[in-house]
Structure 1
């Protein structure tokens, strides 16, 4: 029996978005283990205690306790996480949010999908762009 390491950290407090992302990963990338975290503070703790770093972090911007941009800034200030792929995924389509995310070190910026079909396409894109050679 193989050990399943968390290859994707999904940081989002919206349970509907969590559910849809989990469903899409189950269908199109079943070997990926998903660890769901509710805010940036939980992300920081998970990264500090992880035996193996995730292959990808999907990070929402608007969350309680610590938002995604604040967490991104802290993560990128630690050289241990310089190569960790972090993709912002948010309901925002504002250029100012996109620019700030990239300025803080995000590797990508995705506006959250509206339909399950769009979630499915998103997971396929994430596999192609970030997860090849990891959990696919």
Structure 2
């Protein structure tokens, strides 16, 4: 895990992207934030970039390649799994089956998108601070 690497946000809803942009700007973390509208574009980026991202915030329901399919591809790719990139779901759609399926794919978190900017800010702060303090196998 590269604590200074970019945060990858995979979100097809433009309004949700805008809210996340506002929150990340306000919180002013040094990490660059890179947005993708679907899992396929994010996968292509992750397979070709020399950068090691800090973490991935992924919506679930997206066109082309949904969050579950993307997670499965990243989890089974030996080269990408060596990068130890925390993968978190960030979705409005949630039920017990989705959470069970997410954790069976070894996601490191499942967060429900909040509708208020203040609550979204609290969640992003908690995520960023937690992962900034975590050790990963490739930190040594």
TM-score w.r.t. length of structure 2: 0.86
Q: Which stretches in structure 1 are left out of the alignment for 5+ residues?
A: none
The alignment yields a C-alpha RMSD, in angstroms, of: 1.5
Residue 66 of structure 1: how far off its partner (Å) = 0.9
What do the CA deviations read for 1:87-114 (whole angstroms, capped 9, x no partner)? 0011122011011011012110001111
Q: Distance in 1 between matches of 2:62 and 2:94?
A: 16
C-alpha spacing 1:22/1:132, structure 2 compared with 1 (3 Å)? farther
Aligned to 1:115: 116
Aligned to 1:125: 126
Aligned to 1:20: 19
Q: Distance in 1 between matches of 2:36 and 2:131?
A: 19
Q: Distance in 1 between matches of 2:109 and 2:29?
A: 23
Q: Distance in 2 between matches of 1:112 and 1:49?
A: 29
How many residue pairs match? The answer is: 129
TM-score w.r.t. length of structure 1: 0.88
Residue 32 of structure 1: how far off its partner (Å) = 2.0
Following TM superposition, where does structure 1 have runs of at least 4 consecutive aligned residues deviating by more than 4 angstroms? none
- Equivalent residues of 2:47, 2:80 under 8 A apart: no
Q: Secondary structure at the match of 2:107?
A: coil
